[in-house]
Structure 1
Amino acid sequence: MVVSFFLGLLGALSQHILYKRLHHTAPEDPEKRIRLVLYGRALAYFSKITFGGCVILCYRQRIWRTFRENVLSVWAIDRLFLATEDLSLFLHWETWGKATLPTLMALVIWLIPIATIIMSPGALTFGVFIQRDTSSLSVPTLNFTAESYKDYRVPVFAKDGTTKKKSLIFVNTTDPSATAPGWFDYYDKPASDIERVSLMSAYSLKNQSLNREDARYRSCGGDFNCTYTISFVGPGYKCEELAHGADDDKKLAELGAPFNTSYLAPVGRLAYFAQVDIGEYLRPQTELGRQGVPLNITNDVGVFKTEPILWIGYSVNTTDPPDPRFKDTWTSKYDPYVFQCIHHETNYTVQYNYTGPFFNTSISHNFLAPIINTTYARYDNGIPNYQDFVPASGFVSPRTDVPLYKKTAVYHAVGQSLRKFLEGKIEVEPPIPGPATYARPYSDITKTRLVKSNSFPVHNLHIELQDFYADMILSLFSAPNLLVIAEDRVEVNTTRYKAAFIYDAGKLWGCYAPVIFFTLIFLIIGAWTVWEDGTTFSVGFSRIMVTTRNSTLDEISRGACLGNDPFPMELMNTRLRFGVLTEGGEEMEYIGSGDGLQGLSHCTFGVASELTAIKRGVPYAGLKYTGPKYANNGLGSKKEKME
């Protein structure tokens, strides 16, 4: 019994180990997959045999105890002997009432195959699972500092040695040979690539940046989904709302805004107005000669004196009833807003999430400092002088700090690519006295996602503009031959769907746990029964033969010796018990006298009136005992020596 139980545990554990090794693996050979599955089922069958064998052995011990303690019909005794073959045992009230424990043990014997052979292999399936991993990979990032040391005379190549890296700006020079005393290069205009990228990004109408087609494969290290975070420093617009509502112009006047809320509906006739070119870098800086060399080189040539502030106003139709002041011209309330955006050097933190063919980004900004820290000069009466800027110490010159100048020029070029979409206006006429008119756009902003389908700007335009500009910068990744495209090694969290074996350990042990539990309980019961009885029992033919040697049984079974079905019902309903046969109404005593015994009692099935209880430690005919080696052979008083 004990060996069978532990062999069952070994089989279950072996099945677990096999399935665990197969978990998330996918042998390419289909025949090998089938063999591995069959190995698991073979182990399940082995566990069924061993656990079932243990319970059967315990069951055999227990039914003999039941036969000794209860008077049962031959029908019930017959079914208890055939419990592992005949389900009719569970349909008879007598077995449930008088042999409850053996009946339950028999039920478990029948249920063990369901749990082991049928259910446990279901813990291993073949399907799709999500494979997760974290690794350090090289992903694209932006490095605008690379432009600080770019000399257009010296080509820069990518790691493959064939792709030429391109700058984001075009420059002019005072000396193409770079040999004349005091020569310098200075900014001319944005390069063609930044013009193309900004145009495609602005017109894509998608709420995300552009990217290269193989970005997921390159960034995720293969055909995976992945997430990772990059950080870089680049240009960014910091926008601040300054006015909300008609006549809210105080702060605008203090900051020297070129317009106020009176330009916007409902006071004015504009739904959008932008002044974005005050202090714009002039092109050309001076008259040019051959090879773009300036003819008149002054101290101001190429100098960045300011970075244009974005002054933007827009009006939102709230659909609420109009203000009483404007009810004669407007049918709904318009809320005017004015904000400014200052170009800053910005620390970006961007989280990329690639899922299938799609991706999205989560961007956070940390604005460091204005790219050019100057402002408008003022006349004596306090009116802003839009042609002059202070302080002069904030100017960025190509003659002094060249790396700073080149980086500032690139920042300026990227901002200039945005500003061309923002300048202009959108007009709107009051609907009263009518007829109703539509918005009339005079700005390329209507071609971007910053304007709704009705040609009116989106709500929270100042926030949307910051994100729009960030997406335009991230769109540089779609042009991998740019000089600012670099690589950074970061932790990448990858996932992918993979077809393989999937093992659910909980499901396997969920099948085996009740089997192990009940088998262990019955093992304890069986072992306790053996200890209490002092012997073991079996249900073999020889055991049945010796336990039915009773003249009473011979008498009631006359005419039924073929073992045929149907069996006489009178015999089947006879109630029997297993015990010590009494002769003359009294149990035989055994008396040790010198070298032998006068007699030994006989254990057999019989009617209750002719039997007494079997006692532990008492020698009975046919049972091994520790006394003298003699036994009654059941033939009168004759003694026979036995081994």
Structure 2
Amino acid sequence: MNSKGEYSYNHLQPSKDAVGNGVQVQTRLLDSSELQNTTDIRLQDPLLAIACFVGGILAAVGHHLYYQRLNDTPVTSENLQVWSIRIGTGLALLTRCGLVAAIGIAVVQQTWLSLRKRAMSIGGIDSMFDIMGNPWSFFNTDFLIHAKRLAVLAAIAWLLPIITIVTPATLSVVSRMTHDTVATRVPYYNFSNTDGWGTYGGFGYISGAAPEMARLFTRTYISNSPIPQTPPFANASYDFNFWAPSYKCSNASDIIRTRNNRTWDLDYYNYTNFEEAFNAEIANPISASSTTNSSSISPPLIYKSTAPSRMNNMILIGANGHNELRGNIDHNYLVCQLYNTSYDITMRFDNGVQSIHEKSIAHVNSQEWDNERGRLSVVLANGLCAPDPAANNATICPTYYMVHYLFTRFLTGLARINAGGELIFQSDGFEGNIVEAGEAPFFQSGLRDCPEIWNSTDYQSASGGPLAFQSLNRCPGGTLGTAIESLSRNFTYSLLTYSNWRNFTTEVPITVSMPKNFFYYNSVTLLITYSSAVVVTLLCICVGFAALLSNGYTSSTAFSAVLLTTRNPDLDRLSTDNTLGAKPLPHPIRDTKLRFGILRTEGSEPQAGFGLDGTVTPLENMASVILRKKGAERTVD
């Protein structure tokens, strides 16, 4: 007896070593202070379950906040993208570990509760103890039938790692067009520079257009669009304001009503006013030809245009095709005047393809100087744009004159049906230079598709019918006048590609559009996934706590718990010749049913442990067992 009156003693018990020699093994009975109070619930495991659960929640919240901070921010490097996914995956793994660990603790408590409630085969018990580490355990029928709640908890623990697949993938990378403003130099105009524009004769007068300028004009009217310049960026746009020449085409009747005065010397034309001049040059020939189709003297005219050298940069045009937009009148009479024009445009490039949006085109100053002053303009101020005293001090640009020269050679002439019924075009003062209409530059452009030309009865009869020659969408604005105006503007835009002006640039703010990668966070998917996992885990923890309270003590699946709960002579006999525990278990052992409860073996005190079915009673409370054991120990002397 010790100082407290409690009994304890040591004794020697014979045993044998590994080679069979007798040895003395000292054992010691525990005094009452060292006996385990099995009715106490130790808080370490419950608190650990709560800590793991809270830690998993914190990791999930951290995952959400991290991805939310990255959302809609640019991906500046491949390394940033890689590490963002790595960090997200790490946080998902921490969440998974915390939640699964909490469920694992609940599974342990539920395991012992299931073992107390009913007998189960050793194979089923193996599955219960092995279920968290071996998915084959789910295929044991006895386990699934008698431990359904435990099977559900384990299944949730096995399925929960799906969150480590779903949640990291909620952060992705998307490509979006961004718009940045960059100050960049772009091609600009310099109409005071005539380098490479013309050819010259005599003492320096302009005799024609230089080859490159002629080619530039030809490419423009053939393509029916501006020649595209090299884009500063593949996707960009900028506003552009400048002054340049263009034509404004008006009805002849409007010009006669507002500007019918004579502007030329009678030594050159014997017309007293503009109406008389226009009728003589255009109206009378066109109208007369339409009534004498069978006359060999006056062949049918389809189109006629002239640019009298003293009529201040005017091109007079007449055509007899019907156009609904002009009221289906019998004859269409136009006057196209060269203007100094204010342009306000937006230049766009989409994947390198140029397009031009005309915000404002204002015809400001008509170029009212005649052909003679234009030819001599290059010697006025060394080729610069300058006022000419001989032209009422009108500012004359040699480059403007050469634009008018190109359009005059292109537009002027007449189209008619010859004696053989063929469509021909005659230019250069209508003397010689007669070509088949298809060879004439005018008919190679989109202008011939305007109704004022192709909707002429004579033109259709000579061309094989209305569908044999018409090309759709090649007459901008639907009228001959608007098409000529469009062509003049397109040629002006084409001048931005003129090689001799490559050094003339201006700096403008360019809106550059380019694709950039941005992080995109699908917060709904992550929050739903984590919320579902947290709720399910919380339910599992509640099941575990209920099992803990029902058990009345904190259970464990450690080796010590197995050791202490299998002290039973029946189990000792069952393990004879099967002490390795190797797989597969023999069928007699695997199918033997055990139950965890109060063992009532004849000649011994009741104790808790595993026993054969029928040899145990339900384990409700171990207090009576412990008290009886204490009383027996006190009687030992």
Of stretches 540-549 and 603-612 in structure 1, the one that deviates more from structure 2 is: 603-612
Which residue of structure 1 aligns with residue 270 of structure 2? Answer: none
Match of 2:26?
none
CA distance in 2, matches of 1:403, 1:609: 130
1:542 maps to which of 560, 564, 579:
560
Q: 1:92 to 1:229 in 2, by over 3 A?
A: farther
* Partner residue, 1:138: 184
User: How much is the aligned-residue C-alpha RMSD, in angstroms?
Assistant: 5.8
1:324-339 equivalent positions in 2, closer than 5 A:
none
Is residue 438 of structure 2 the alignment partner of residue 421 of structure 1?
no
Indicate which of 578, 593, 598 corresponds to 1:581: 598
Partner Cα distance (1:344, 1:254) in 2: 24
Contact 1:202 1:447 in 2 (8 A): no
User: Quick one: distance in 1 between partners of 2:389 and 2:501?
Assistant: 26
User: CA contact under 8 A between 1:168 and 1:482: conserved in structure 2?
Assistant: no
In the alignment, which of 250, 273, 283 is matched to residue 303 of structure 2? 273
Give the deviation of 1:79 after TM superposition. 1.8
The partner residue of 1:366 within 337, 360, 364 is 360
Is 1:237 matched with 2:247?
yes
Whichever residue aligns with residue 417 of structure 1, its letter is L
Shift in Å, 1:361: 0.9
Residue 456 (structure 1) shift: 6.3
Which residue of structure 2 lines up, in the alignment, with residue 352 of structure 1?
347
* Pair 539,313 (structure 1): closer, same or farther in 2 beyond 3 Å: farther
What stretches of structure 1 of length at least 5 have no aligned partner? Answer: 151-164, 177-185, 244-251, 282-304, 319-332, 376-395, 586-598, 622-630
Read off the aligned partner of 2:60 and give its amino acid letter. L
Q: 1:577 deviation in Å?
A: 5.3
Aligned equivalent of 1:520: 534
Write the mapping of 1:175-574 to structure 2, written as runs, cut at 5 A: 192=210, 195-196=213-214, 198-202=216-220, 205=223, 207-211=225-229, 215-216=230-231, 219-220=232-233, 224-239=234-249, 258-259=282-283, 262=287, 273-278=303-308, 280=309, 306-309=312-315, 311=317, 313=319, 315=321, 341-356=336-351, 358-364=352-358, 366-369=360-363, 371-372=365-366, 398-399=388-389, 405-406=395-396, 410-428=399-417, 440-441=437-438, 443-451=440-448, 458-459=474-475, 460=478, 462=480, 463-479=482-498, 481-482=500-501, 485-496=504-515, 505-506=521-522, 510=525, 516-532=530-546, 533-534=548-549, 536-549=554-567, 560-574=578-592
Change in CA separation of 1:124 and 1:255 when aligned onto 2, cut-off 3 Å: farther
Quote the offset at 1:56 in angstroms: 3.2
Contact 1:194 1:476 in 2 (8 A): no
Tell me how far apart the structure 2 counterparts of residues 401 and 59 of structure 1 sit (CA, whole Å). 106
CA gap 1:635/1:573 in 2 versus in 1, 3 angstroms: farther
Question: For 1:334 and 1:402, how far apart are their aligned partners in 2?
Answer: 38
Instruction: Report how far residue 520 of structure 1 moved.
Output: 1.4
SS at match of 1:490: strand
Answer whether contact 2:172 2:521 (CA < 8 A) is retained.
no
Q: Provide the rounded CA distance (Å) in 1 between the counterparts of 2:290 and 2:620.
A: 111
Listed one character per residue, the Cα deviations across residues 429-486 of structure 1 (whole Å, up to 9, x for unaligned) are: 799999xxx9635742234454579776755353443333222111111136539954
Distance 1:59 1:254 in 2: 110
Per-residue deviation, 1:13: 6.2
- Structure 1: how far apart are the matches of 2:437 and 2:300? 9
Could you tell me the TM-score, scaled by structure 1's length? 0.58
1:521 maps to amino acid = V
Deviation at 1:308, TM superposition (A): 0.9
Deviation at 1:9, TM superposition (A): 3.3
Residue-by-residue CA offset, 1:328-374 (whole Å, 9 max, x unaligned): xxxxx999866554445544343434345x42213326343453298
Q: Cα 1:371–1:433, aligned 2, differ >3 Å: closer, same or farther?
A: closer
Q: Distance in 2 between matches of 1:403 and 1:634?
A: 132
Do the aligned residues in 1 keep the contact of 2:240 with 2:344 (CA within 8 Å)?
Answer: yes
> Structure 2 regions of 5+ residues with no counterpart?
1-48, 254-273, 294-298, 370-385, 424-434, 450-462
Structure 2: how far apart are the matches of 1:514 and 1:94? 35
Decide which structure has greater helix share.
2
How many pairs were matched up? Answer: 496
Letter in 2 for 1:398: D
Q: Distance in 1 between matches of 2:77 and 2:90?
A: 20
Measured in 2, the distance between the counterparts of 1:402 and 1:168 equals: 28
SS in 2 for 1:371: strand
Separation in 2, partners of 1:63, 1:559: 28
The one-letter amino acid paired with 2:349 is Y
Distance in structure 1 (CA, Å) of the matches to 2:216 and 2:422: 42
1:25 is the counterpart of 2:62:
no
1:253-291 CA-partner distances (Å, limit 9, x unpaired): 99956238758989867785242514x46xxxxxxxxxx
Q: CA deviation at 1:492?
A: 0.9
Corresponding residue for 1:84?
132
Structure 2 counterpart of 1:106: 154
Distance 1:605 1:521 in 2: 38
Q: 1:441 to 1:571 in 2, by over 3 A?
A: closer
Q: CA offsets per residue over residues 54-86 of structure 1, 9 Å max, x none?
A: 443444344444445666544333223222332
Separation in 1, partners of 2:113, 2:277: 104
- Give the direction of change, closer, same or farther, for the CA distance of 1:572–1:229 in structure 2 (3 Å limit): farther
Give, as a single letter, the amino acid of the residue that structure 2 aligns with 1:371: N
Note the alpha carbon deviations across 1:99-133, whole angstroms, 9 max, x for none: 445434433444455653x677777899x956634
Q: Percent identity?
A: 15
Secondary structure of 1:230's aligned partner: strand
Q: How far off is 1:135 after superposition?
A: 1.6
Q: Which SS does the other structure have where 1:209 is aligned? A: coil
* Letter of the 1:523 counterpart: T
1:216-257 CA deviation, whole Å, 9 max, x = no partner?
2xx23xxx43233434343333456899xxxxxxxx999956
Structure 2 CA distance for partners of 1:15 and 1:432, relative to 1, 3 Å: same
Q: Distance in 1 between matches of 2:405 and 2:623?
A: 112
For 1:308, give the aligned amino acid. Answer: M
Q: Radius of gyration: which is bigger? A: 2
Give the match's secondary structure for 1:259. helix
- Aligned with 1:275: secondary structure? strand
1:49, 1:466 → 2: CA distance?
Answer: 75
For the Cα contact (< 8 Å) 1:197–1:475, is it kept in 2?
A: no
Provide closer, same or farther for how the CA distance between residues 639 and 77 of structure 1 changes in structure 2, counting only shifts above 3 A: farther
Shift of residue 540 of structure 1?
Answer: 1.8
Report the Cα distance in structure 2 between the residues aligned to 1:537 and 1:254, rounded to whole angstroms: 120
- Matches of 1:496 and 1:543 in 2, distance apart? 64
**Alignment match of 1:9 (pick from 36, 60, 65):** 60
Q: Does the CA-based 8 Å contact 2:57-2:534 persist in structure 1? A: no
Q: Which amino acid aligns with 1:25?
A: S
Question: What's the counterpart of residue 157 of structure 1?
Answer: none
SS in 2 for 1:106: helix
Q: Measured at CA, do residues 99 and 272 of structure 1 come closer, stay the same or move farther in structure 2, by a change above 3 Å?
A: farther
Structure 1: which amino acid aligns with 2:407?
A: L
Residue 633 to residue 271, structure 1, CA distance change in 2 (3 Å): farther
Whether the 8 Å CA contact 2:228–2:354 is kept in 1: the answer is: no
